[in-house]
Chain A
Amino acid sequence: MDKAKQIKQNYKEMVEKASPSSNMGVNCAWAFFVGGTICVIGQIITEVLKTYGYAKDDAAMMTTVILIFIGALLTGLNIYDNIGKYAGAGSIVPITGFSNSVVAPAMEYKKEGYILGMGARMFTVAGPVIVYGVISSVVVGIIYYFFK
């Protein structure tokens, strides 16, 4: 009985030692590579826009819009989810992942109707992001207004 317990314990330790660390290393490498690559693509778009005379802030905003389009299109073509299988956070954290989080449920729930299916479910993830982003920005604005 004790021996069985011991073996179980050993096995548990072995699993803990082996699986998460190796997986996490690989996951992080993928996240770094894919996330970094998406940012480089963003930087390339920004530089190109600057040569067309966009100011720095406008170029950054336009880059965001273009990346959102690319993320939406790749989600529609079922390419983005395949990238996500390897990239993990590398495909979730960039703005293209934000776009993916809107398109994926919108497609999924289209069959439940255009109002409460698509219209509502689009914001499953984007909604909370906008809610907390806006609230924290308003808090910052109030503090800044009174203490600037």
Chain B
Amino acid sequence: MDYVNAFIVGGIICVIGQILLDKTQLMPARILVLFVTLGVILTALGIYEPIVNFAGAGATVPLPGFGYALAKGVINEVNTEGFMGVLTGGLKATAAGISAVIVFGYIIALIFNPKAKA
């Protein structure tokens, strides 16, 4: 059942992205920025956490899940560290992902070359 929930919720989030892509002039970069920001706001409002509990990776793997990790990190860190948590919480919670994307991205881009456009 976990897998079905993940498939459906993850699919729906991507369909929302596709509708934005087809119906508006938004470029993918703008959609990703919108989704991350939306993830932060929905988490702050307590809406995204129940979706994560229901769908698991279906809610954490799409980009709003990145916003969820940022917002949750900040809130947890403010609870434990006080005001400094405002500045440290978000990046701390997402540090693994950001470092991974930089390191893996760099290594892969060193090894591979773009395919010549046909």
Contacts and interface: CB of A to CB of B under 8 A. Distances in A.
A39 interface: yes
Given A65-B96, A90-B14, A125 B32 contact: yes
Given A76-B109, A118-B106, A36 B18 contact: no
Interface string B61-91: 1110111011101110111001101110111
A11 interface: no
Interface string A4-33: 000000000000000010011001101111
Interface residues of A, number: 76
Nearest to B29: A125
Given A61-B96, A93-B14, A110 B109 contact: yes
B13 to A, nearest CB: 6
B41 interface: yes
Contacts of B12: 32
Interface in A47-81: 47, 60-65, 67-69, 72-73, 75-78
B87 A88 contact: no
Contacts of A134: 70, 90-91
B14 A34 contact: yes
A132 B101 contact: no
A126 B101 contact: yes
Contacts of B11: 31-33, 35-36, 39, 90
12 contacts: A31-B18, A32-B12, A43-B2, A63-B57, A64-B65, A68-B97, A76-B109, A99-B104, A129-B36, A133-B37, A133-B40, A141-B89
Interface of B: 2-3, 6-23, 28-29, 31-33, 35-37, 39-41, 43-44, 55-58, 60-63, 65-67, 69-71, 73-75, 77-79, 82-83, 85-87, 89-91, 94, 96-98, 100-102, 104-115
Interface of A: 20, 23-24, 27-28, 30-40, 42-47, 60-65, 67-69, 72-73, 75-78, 88-90, 92-95, 97-99, 101-104, 106-108, 110, 118, 122, 124-126, 128-130, 132-134, 136-138, 140-145, 148
